[in-house]
Structure 1
């Protein structure tokens, strides 16, 4: 359909810390949209962000509308959309396109794909959100929506309207889909096209053309179908969702093309994450290090000759015997062992050289890594032997760890809790020195664990194999149960 096109974007919401998202959105629009093909209208709720005006002005003909700080609006997204719509229509727009600030085009031709189907029988087009069905009826989502002004006016629709007789839950612009279907018309659907996903709702690519991160500036991180959960369960769900959102956002901002290539199942180039660095899996004993390492192996991490099965780990602890013996030997030389961590762990030059030889031998087999909980106690030796190594950590509720250690080693609970604190205080200290992904080991929600691990694997520069990780993760790996509540 031919017509004058307006692209509407609202920056910031109730927690308007979305300046980086707006920058990604608008630079992607500029990158993938022919000059003059559409006029961009931006509403700015975040008046303190000095980047917004020059960013909008960098797009030819773009219009910036600043929020009135003294005006209260019952909805920080829908009301500004209505205001922008009125402005664009007054300027002569025939077609309205909406993008969320955390959505953006990922390829040339996106605009033609979105508006091309529009016509008398197809007045609406866009990202088809059906992931929450049946709790939320499917609809065209404003993260990538196109509609004719003729239909909006003729149907009496408003961008700030939330009423629909068909829906118990009516999200922003969901009523547009209902109006189309009630009139016997059709909406053109851009279906979710990911081959890989880190979350069932977040991180969607629609029609291979539009990316929507989801919840980019939200504080409430439970989705509609999760609200029915009990308060404690809901809190855990929100924590997992927030971690996934933030970890994946970091990947997206740092390694955009590589991250999108993984989502779409395309071969990614070698840019971005440190591709050859040795990976260290860190964590307290009985805290999910074996499970995490097994998952990373399925994402392409080479481990060499490791344990694949033993009495206390049905699928093995994924430790190399030589490395375990070597590190335990260092601890004994220092007057301790894994149950009695020495206060200081200074390696000798010979020990560093031996460790470096092990790393080099493993690395000859490809992108390599190692797991042994003792590594947390000997981080200085590893820094000296493999300074460019990258880290990933795991932790588990101390009560679950204590039960597992009592079952395996007969360890009293008081000793187990003290040991948990000794190891995890080192994990926290290393993370403060140089942040790295840390995974909460709790398999009461296996799907959430799988998503978290896949996002972390991508951050390490591995190739997340979601199906392989799902196959590996099973409830029997969680030897002492989960769902203990908050970790102290």
Structure 2
């Protein structure tokens, strides 16, 4: 652990937290994700040393998963009205619904996690609380490796309740349609995602926030299997379904076809032609990257649920005891990229 974190540990553990409200939206596509869910719940329970309530929206999970979540200690199932929103917009909608319930219950701090993120240290709450500047009272993950510059990522955000009471931000990934919001996106270069309005609130009010960066020693993938601040792990399962800009960083075909993508075509026929040209130029590369990402994700997920301590230790630089040789091979290739 680095020197900064050692200084934080010298402070009174969790002294400011009277009750932590942890917000998680549970999306599970199949029963194969049950072992990961169990690990996520186990690690929250194992490493959270302050009083807490785990607020859960779990209306799109199996009966097995719902039972597993609801029977855990300190869990409060929240059942807001259903929405037709999907992807990050749905995620933000349910986070907003749980936030209102948690604040009404009187929690002193709010924390968001993803279904595939969890603490890996008993000091995670202490470090996040003490990393948060007094002005904002907020700290969280910044996925700089994904190109983020002004987005606290909801795989782990922690803030005092007064941040939400003062500014009433939403977790929606959508623009609030104001000129100032567009200025924020343009001036920072930040892409929209769940939590973008949290970033906008910080930017608009010129508030500093405590940033947790990726601290992996080993990286089987530039985005997946991230450890942040030595205290939180995020598998990053979305990485297997969507390619990011960083995935194409070394793609010759993406570089030479970038003028086609940047050109502003007018009219539906022209835009269809643009998309057809991009598919022709980039299709094989896109397919290869998505296939590779899926293979890496499945390997990481298997390693994580069968021997989590071995994987976490491997990512943090320990000898690869229990980590597969295939994982070491992937890590070696990624390191050369």
- The normalised TM-score by structure 2 is 0.73
Of the candidates 306, 313, 321, which is equivalent to residue 261 of structure 1? 313
Match of 2:85 in 1: 73
| Distance change >3 Å, CA 185–CA 107, structure 1 → 2 | same
Structure showing greater relative contact order (alpha-carbon pairs closer than 8 Å, 6 or more residues apart)? 2
Give aligned pairs, total.
278
Mapped to 2, the partners of 1:86 and 1:256 lie a distance apart of 34
**Alpha-carbon deviations, 1:166-216, whole Å to 9, x = none?**
226211003212321332221101111100001111111001010001025
Match of 2:213 in 1: 191
Give 5+ residue unaligned stretches, structure 1.
274-454, 474-488
Match of 2:40 in 1: 25
Match of 1:98 in 2: 112
- Give runs of aligned pairs for residues 273-312 of structure 1, distance below 5 A: none
| Distance change >3 Å, CA 16–CA 46, structure 1 → 2 | farther
User: Does structure 1 conserve the Cα–Cα contact (< 8 Å) formed by 2:47 and 2:123?
Assistant: yes
Match of 2:151 in 1: 139
Match of 2:12 in 1: none
Match of 1:148 in 2: 160
Residue 470 of structure 1 deviates from its aligned partner by 5.7
Of the candidates 207, 213, 221, which is equivalent to residue 242 of structure 2? 221
Match of 2:299 in 1: 247
- The normalised TM-score by structure 1 is 0.52
Residue 16 of structure 1 deviates from its aligned partner by 6.3
Give 5+ residue unaligned stretches, structure 2.
1-15, 176-180, 255-281
Partner of 1:125, secondary structure, is strand
User: Does structure 2 conserve the Cα–Cα contact (< 8 Å) formed by 1:93 and 1:149?
Assistant: yes
Of the candidates 198, 211, 216, which is equivalent to residue 176 of structure 1? 198
Residue 73 of structure 1 deviates from its aligned partner by 3.1
**Alpha-carbon deviations, 1:84-110, whole Å to 9, x = none?**
111101101231100000001112111
**Alpha-carbon deviations, 1:323-343, whole Å to 9, x = none?**
xxxxxxxxxxxxxxxxxxxxx
Mapped to 1, the partners of 2:335 and 2:37 lie a distance apart of 34
**Alpha-carbon deviations, 1:134-189, whole Å to 9, x = none?**
xx434221111112232223223112253243226211003212321332221101
- Give runs of aligned pairs for residues 105-116 of structure 1, distance below 5 A: 105-116=119-130
User: Does structure 2 conserve the Cα–Cα contact (< 8 Å) formed by 1:130 and 1:139?
Assistant: no
RMSD: 2.9
Higher Cα radius of gyration: 1
Mapped to 2, the partners of 1:470 and 1:120 lie a distance apart of 38
